[in-house]
Every structure is written in C-alpha cells, then in structure tokens.
Structure 1
Amino acid sequence: MGEERFVYADLNKQKERMNRALVIGYIIFTIFIFVVSGVNFLAGLNSLKTVLNVDGCTLIVLFLLFLDLKLDKNPERLRYFALIGLIVIQIVTSIVYNASYISVLVCAPLVGCILFYDKVFSGLAGVMTSMASIIIFLVKKYALNMYEGNDSVVEVFTIAAIVLVIGIAYLAVSIGGTFQNDMFGKIEYDRSNQNKMIDDIVRVADSVRNQTNSAMNTMKELEEATGVVDDVVKHITQNNMSTVENVQVQTQMTHNIQESIEETLKYAAVMVDIAGNAEEINVHNQATINKLKDQATTIQNTNSHVATAMENLKEKTEAVKGIADTIFSISSQTNLLALNASIESARAGEAGRGFAVVADEIRELAEKTRAETETIANVLEELSFNANNAAKAVEESTEATNSQNELITEAAGSFDAMSDRVGELTKNISEIDLMINSLSEANNQIVDNIVQLSSASEEVAENSEQAQEYSKRNLEKVEITKGLLEKIEDEACKLDGYI
C-alpha cells in the first residue's frame, strides 16, 4: 500500500512519464506548426503544396515518435529521435516560413528533457540546435538573401538569446544532475545504512530470540531440578523426622537401661552386704564350732537362717541374671537402631555423614554393652552355681546338726568350704558391682551421644525446612524470569516484520 504512493520513485517509471511528456510537447508543437501553416496559406504567403509538405514532414516525425513509444515505453533513443526530428522541422519551417520564432519554438519540446539530467544529451541538443540556428541564418542571409534592413541584426540577437537559454538550460541540467546524483546517492547510502541497521537489528533479534529460547530451556531445566531438589529435601525431612523419632525411642530405652542399672547397683550392694554378713556368720560359726554340741538348737536355727539367706541369694542372683538378659536385649536393640540410623544417614548423603559417625559410635557402645552383659551373665551363672553349692552345704550342715556328735569334724570342714565359697562370692559380687558401674558409665556415654544425635537431627530438620523454603522462592523467581523472557521473545518477534 505504501509503495503505490511512490510510483515514480522508480527510475524507469520516471523515464516513461518524461517520454510521454516529450511526445505531448511535440504534439503541441505540431499543432502550432499546423496553425502557422494555415495562417500562411490563408494569407497567401505560401502555397498549399508547400504547407502540406511542411505539415507532412511534421506528421512523419510525430508518427515515428508514437511508433517508438508504443514499441518501447521507456526507450533511451526516443529523445534523440525527437531531437533529430525537431532540427529537421526547424530547418524546413524556418526557411519556408521565414520566421525566426520557429527556432525559439523548437526548444520548447526539449525543455522537458532537462528532467532527464542527461548532460550528454543536453549538450548535444544545445549544440545541434545552436548550429541549426546559425546554419539557417547563414543560408537565409547569404544564399537566399531573405533579410531586409535590420532583420539580420535581430536574427543574430535571437540566435544569441537561444544559445544563452540553451547554455543556462545545460547549466541547470548539470547542477540538477549533480543535485540528483548526490540526493539519490545520499538516499542510497542512507538506505544501505538503514538496511544494514535493520539487518543488525534482525540479527540481534534472532540472537535474542535464540538466546531467549536457550534461557527458557535452561529455566525449565532449573525449574525441574528445583522440583527434584524440593522432593529430595521433603524426603530428607521425612527421613529425618523418622530418625528423630527413633532417637527419641532410643533415648527412652537408654533411660530404661539406666534405671535398670541403678536398680542392679542397689541389688549388688545388698548382695555385697549379704556376702559380708555370710562371711561374718561363717567366722562366728568357726569360733563357736567347739560349742556345737551344747548349742545344737542354736546351730540348727543358724543353719536355717543361712539356708534362708542362701535362698535369697539365689533369688537375687536370678534377678541379676534377668537384668543382665534385659541389658543384653536392649544392647541388641540399640545395635539394630544404630544400624538403621546408619542406613538412613547413608540415604541422606553428605548431610547425613555426621549421623553415620554417631550411629557407628552407638553401635560400638552397644557391642561393648552386649559383651559386658555376656560377661555378667557368665559371672551370674557361676554365682548361681556357687549359691546352689552353698545351699547344699547348708543342707549338709543341717543334717550334720542332727548328728552333730558324729559329723562335727565334717561340719567344720563344710564351714571351711563355705567360708571359701563366701569369700569367692564376695569377690565375684564386687566384680559384678564394678562391671555394673562400668556399664552405667557406658550407658551415660550412649545417652550423651544420643542427645548429640538428637540435636544434629533437629538442626538437619531446620536446615531442610530452610532448603525447602529456598526451593519455593527459587521456583517463584524462575516463574518471574520465564515471564520476562517470554516478553523479550515477544518483542524480538515483532522485529520479524522488518525482515
């Protein structure tokens, strides 16, 4: 639509229009010649034959111009044909009609040729027209003697005026051609720069669009990666919550172990007291062995007490064995929980490395606890065995009391054996007491480690929540960036209309 408004921006269109104008100007010139011919014929200045010859010559030139224009709307030769035709008509009409104004009139159709800005044609037309005027003047003056009075002087000034006008026209063509060349050159230069600028803009737009598409793909990948990280953080948070729950269970179980150990310590203290009392009784029995005959009843009662004490000792021993079994079971469970914590920390990756170290320490302590518990169990088995033997000894002592006179020596030996057993029992109970104290210290260390593990788990949970929050913010930023990139891509696409 915009190009239709500037039809004559095309040089070929300009030449076509100027050729039509040249033909129209020649038609007007032909009509003027016809008028002059008619006037001269009516005035009796020229014969009909002469008038018809002049008009025929003019029509032939006009016909040739029309024919050339029909064959080619933009012929370069048309103006040269017109120039030759005008020179011929100028010579014929100037001589036949003896009219100096004909030479001036011939220049009229050529005025439009100025718009061609063709210095070669303008110079040639000026020279040929001027030469034709001079030749006509010389022929009319010296060959035909057609001038009278001052007519020749007027003709000279007329020719001089024609030459001056032609010179001015040539100067106008030269200046106008320079202006036109500079103007079109500047337009072409600006258009070249504009095309280059448009090419640069389009190239930049393509680059922006390509980079925007690449950035969009990157943002999509970042969005997907952030989603994966968010899922992983959620999974870590869930696993960490499970770890915290397991740590709480372990803490509770450790507290139970500590209470059992404290209770065992109480029983151990009682056992030590009982062993000490048994040893004192045994010494007293040895001191009073010589009075057994007189104090049979007392000895029998004492043996009964000893039997009761030994029964209590067996019960306490069985209780301690039960406690040892409980400790063994708890240590196994602790070991299993530590193993589970190691597995969960391994799943957590780099963030769970600290958990793995703590879990390994807990597992080592659990193994030590189980080993020590097995030792205690062995000692308790031996203690139970000794208690059974002591009970049998008391039984034998009771039987010996019934036959104290016959078995006094055997009873004394039994008391000696019982004294040895009680001493050994006291020693074993002391060792159990030391072991239980060691177990208590180990359990306290386990409690401290579990507390540290719990603190670390809480810290990981807090960091996981922060990471999840950052992931959400990152997703929001990604959405904002995607929106901006889409706007940039839309703006870049608008430049496609300039391609």
Structure 2
Amino acid sequence: MIGGLYMAKEKKMLSEKQQINKTLIISWQITIAIVLVAYILEIVKQTKTVGYCAVMWAITIPFMIWTLVIYKKNPESKLIKYIAAIDYLALYAYVLLTGDTVLVFVYIFPFFSALIASNDVKLMRNVGIAAIVLNIASVVLRLINNDGSNPGLLAECEIQVAAAVLITLFSCVSCSFINRLNENKVAAMEQAAKEQELLNARVMNLVGVVEENIGIINESSKQMSASAKTTADAMNEITQGSDRTNEAIDNQIVRTKDIQSLISNQTELSANIKALVTTAKDDVDKSMANMNMLDDGAKKVKDNNDVVKKNMEELNEKTEEMQNIISIIANITSQTNMLALNASIEAARAGEAGRGFSVVASQITELANQTKAATENISEIVQALGEQANVAYNAVNSMVEINDNQNEIISDTNAKFKSIFADMNNIVADVDKQDAQIKDINDASGVILDSTNSIAEINSKLKEYAEETDGLAQTNLTNTLEMSGLIDAVMTEIENFRSGE
C-alpha cells in the first residue's frame, strides 16, 4: 500500500514537471509570436526590413522546433527551460541592442512571468542578471550615441536599468517565496501523506482483520448452509424413509406371521422326517444283517469254488498224464505191428518151418490191432474227458471271478449300508438339533414380532420429529443463505475499498 502511494506521488511529481514545461513552452511561444507579429507589422509599416525580421526568425524558430522535439521525447526534460531561456535572451539582446525605442526593454517582463512557473530561482536569477547586463549595455550604447536631442534620455536609462533590476529582484523574491511556500505545502502534504499512510495502514490492517473474520464467518456460513441443506435433505429422506420403513414394518409383520406358520409346518415336517428316518434306519439295520449273512455265504461258496478249481486243475494234470501214457501205448502198438509184420515175413521165408511163427505173428498183429483200436477209443474218451474238464475248469474260473466280483459288491454294499446307517444316525441327530433350532426360531420370531411392533411405534414418533426438524432446517437454511448474501455484499465492499486504495 505504501509503495502504491509512493508511486502515485512520483507520478504526480512527473505530471507537475510536464505541466511546468508545457506552460513554459506555451508562454514562451506566445511571447515570441507576439513579438514576431509586432515586427511583421513594422515591416508592413516599412519601419523594419525583412532581413531584420529574418534574423529574429533565425534566432527563435530553430530553438522552438528543438524544444518541441525534446518535449515530444521527454515531456519532463530539464533542458527545455534552459533552451527557452537562452533563446529568449538571444532574441531579447538582438531586439534590445538594435531597437530604436527604449520601450523594448519591457519584453523581458512576460518571460519572467513565464519563468516563475519553473520554480527555478537560480535560473531566474541568471536570466535577470543577463537581462540587467543587456539593459546596461543598451543604456551605455544609447548614451554613447546620444546627440543631445533627448534631454530625458538619462531618466529613461535610469528607469530601464531600475526596471530590469526590480523585475529581476521581485521575480527572484516571488519565486523564492513561492518555492518556500511550495516546500511548506509539500512538507505538509508529505506529513499528511505519512499520516494518511499510517491511517491507511491501520485501516487496511483493520480491513484485513475484518476480511479474515468475515471470511471465517463466510466459510462457517457456507458450512452452515451446506449443513442446513444436508440436514434438510436428510430430514426429508428420513421422512420418506420413515414412510418406507412403515411399509417395510407392515410387510415384516405379515412375513413374520407367515414365518411362524411355516415354522409350525416345518416342525410337523421335521417330526415326519424323523419318523421316516427312524424306519429307514431299522430297515438298513435289517439289511446290514442280511448282507452279513450273504457275505458269510459268499465266503463259503468261494471256499468251495477254490476246492473245485483245485480238483479240476489236478484232473487236467491227470488227463495230460493219461494222454502221455496212451501215446506211449500207441507207439508200442505201432512197434508191435512192425515186429509182427517182420515176423510174418521171416516165417514166410522159412516156409513150413516158420508156420508156427506166422500164426503167432498173425495173433500178435491182431492183438496189436485190437490194442490200437482200444487205445484209440481210450484216447478219444480221454480227449473228450479233457475237453469236458477244460470246459468245467473254465466254468469254475468264471464262477470264481463272478464270485469274487460278487464278494466285492457285497463288501461295498455292506460298507455303504454301514455309511448309510451312520448317516441315518447323523440325520436323526440333525433332526433333533433342527427341532431345537426351530423351537428357538419360533421363540425368536415371536420376539421379532414384538420388536417390530415397538419399532413401528418408534418410527411414527421419529417421523413426527423428522418433519419438525425438517421445518427448522428449512428455516435455518433460509437464514443462512440471507446471512451468506450479506457477507458476500460486505466482502464486495471490502474489495471495492481495496481497489479504491
């Protein structure tokens, strides 16, 4: 804030310098313009030549243009007043020293009036000294050139020099007085500015504290507004929820009664299940006894089958041995036939002497043939017996496998019956537990029904309280919004005050 005041003060000072230069330029140019116009009239009256005026223009116009260029670039430039003073003194010296009347010395008076605006005593003093010197020089020249035709010349010269001295003196005194007055005003303004700064600082601190407190109040107001709105919405929802709760409570009462009815039915059903499970348990117990008997019988059948199988194996072995013996007999019979044939051949060779051998050989051959035929019959019988034994053996093996499978099935069935029996016991225990739980549920359902009725009464009262609270919340919300609007208005005024500072 203090920096802002300093910048404003600096800006004001710059504007004053610019205004001083502008006033000085305008006064200077007006004075020169009047002088130039006056001398143009002198040309018209043919009392002055164009060349004389051209020198005046050459002295003034370039300096005027230069001053305007400087002012254009920098309106606060200090060169402007010095250039104006030098240019005007040059023009004043030219007119004063070349003029044909003593009254031209008064041309310095308006320029002094313009210089007072610069508040530069030193510049005014130097310009006054230069003007006095020029007037003295003018007086000296006039006195030297006096031919005695003007008896009042000396008095005019005294007046001219005295006027130059007095205008210089009074202008310097006035400028000095104005400067002191301005300095006093500036000091007073600076003191007032400092006091104003202190006051503004205190005010701004106070405004900051007020703004902070109002911000806190505004934030609290917004929170209160939000809370009030939330409360109003919550109360509205509670009211609506209370209606829904009443409906839910009514439904709950109806459903609780239905549940009690279902529980009663479930109790009867549980009793029926228990009776059925008990009957099934007895049947399973009997079935287990039958399965045990069947298992014992199956074990005996298995033992008998094992014995039969073993006998059949021995029969197959004996049959194979008989086949081997028959093969040996058949081989012997074949060899006997060969021997009988050889004996017949030898008996035929012997003639009458071998007739006895021939008869014996014939009988041996016949016996061998009978033996062969009997052996073949025995072989066929043994082979048929072996085939039947194999069939019986295979049947016994199949019976053993079937019996083994049957035994496994019986064992599995027996195990399953045992598992079923255990499950039946568990079911009976679970049914007993279920009966107890159903009784507890029935008791709890009665408590729930009583509690639901109590909740219905409490919910009705809650609805009344919620409706009353909703009305209060709506009122609080309206008041909070109004307070928030007032706080926003105060905050806006504070911001406007800050912007104005």
TM-score (normalizing by structure 1):
0.45
Q: Which structure: larger Rg?
A: 2
